Structure 1
Amino acid sequence: MDKKQAAEFLGVSTRTIENYAKEGKISVTYIPDKNGKRAEYKESELQRLKEELQTPIHRSVVAPNGIEIADSEVFGGLAKLPSTRIAELLEAISQAQGVALLWNKLVWDLDEAATASGYSRYRLRSAIALGALKAKKVGRGWKVRPQDLREYTNWLFGDDNEEADQNRNRMAGIRN
């Protein structure tokens, strides 16, 4: 099969076919053609790759610190667990990976504040520059208190619709 036929067979782009060949997932043979060389792919290898791509990948869950995590807890079952069990699992994972959970910290760097709030780092930096978000420069980075981030969010999306609209326009650089 040529590159275009192989791409249609697998349901991917021709660039993806090239990448598969480069990665060694399929072999390619170049045949002289009137326009140079034409890539040819073996149908048996394409069939094998198609089956491989359609096979679902299942990775077992490795519980940190020996805590048992049942399959029912992993796949959609977390929503049914009591909050104490979820907190226990998150704490165990954070300890195993050496990561402090965000809600246990007194101050956040901009990456953590962006993760917690859903705002981009750029938006938070703009809010700091405009004075809408309280923050302190520590070393080369900015530190934000969680309560200051909450105040900023409340200021931006407050109960007073007209004031909230003015605040959003101010952050967007729109003059009233």
Structure 2
Amino acid sequence: MLISTSNASAFLALFNDKGAINNKPQVGTDVVERAPQASLASPPAALNDHSNLPRIKRSAPLLSRRVEQPTTDRPPVVHYKQDAVMKKIKEHFREYATGENDRFVNVNELKEAAGQVPTTRTFSAEATLYAKILLQNPRALRELDIGIGDYGRPGAEDGRFDIENIDHMLTKPIFLGRHHIVLLRYQPN
């Protein structure tokens, strides 16, 4: 099979006059002559020379206030193991639930315990802390909300959870023979 490039356009030509593949444009000798003499002597010097670049004045800083403030002024971020948080939520379940016979705790009751919604009820400091931790981690709250329903199937996402959902979170299927540790972030206000 013979391929002819005589009538092919310039960008389709694959071979130069020496038979090598060449798809790069040829550089003329005038380009080398126009290069600054400093760059020919030491190429890094030309890369570090910014005198010919335009100066741009920024109207607003690019970094946010939180990034710019010193690290000592930032509130500390504490990480808790998800299993430990779920055990504490289970321990304070009756405190979160509205009535004595209430089987479920909903998100609004957690917000009451965390102090985000006004309430007439009182909560222990530990119950308030763990409610805040759970509310600051929406992924864990969603998993707890879905939990497990009837017949071992996933439950509905209805904004509430019960003891069975907490137990399911504590005994979820293990990954590669090990129960993996999930850390939950908590940043005090």
TM range (shorter): under 0.3
Using the size of structure 2 for normalisation, the TM-score is: 0.22
Higher relative contact order (CA 8 A, sep 6+): 2
Q: Greater strand share, 1 or 2?
A: 1
Q: Greater helix share, 1 or 2?
A: 1
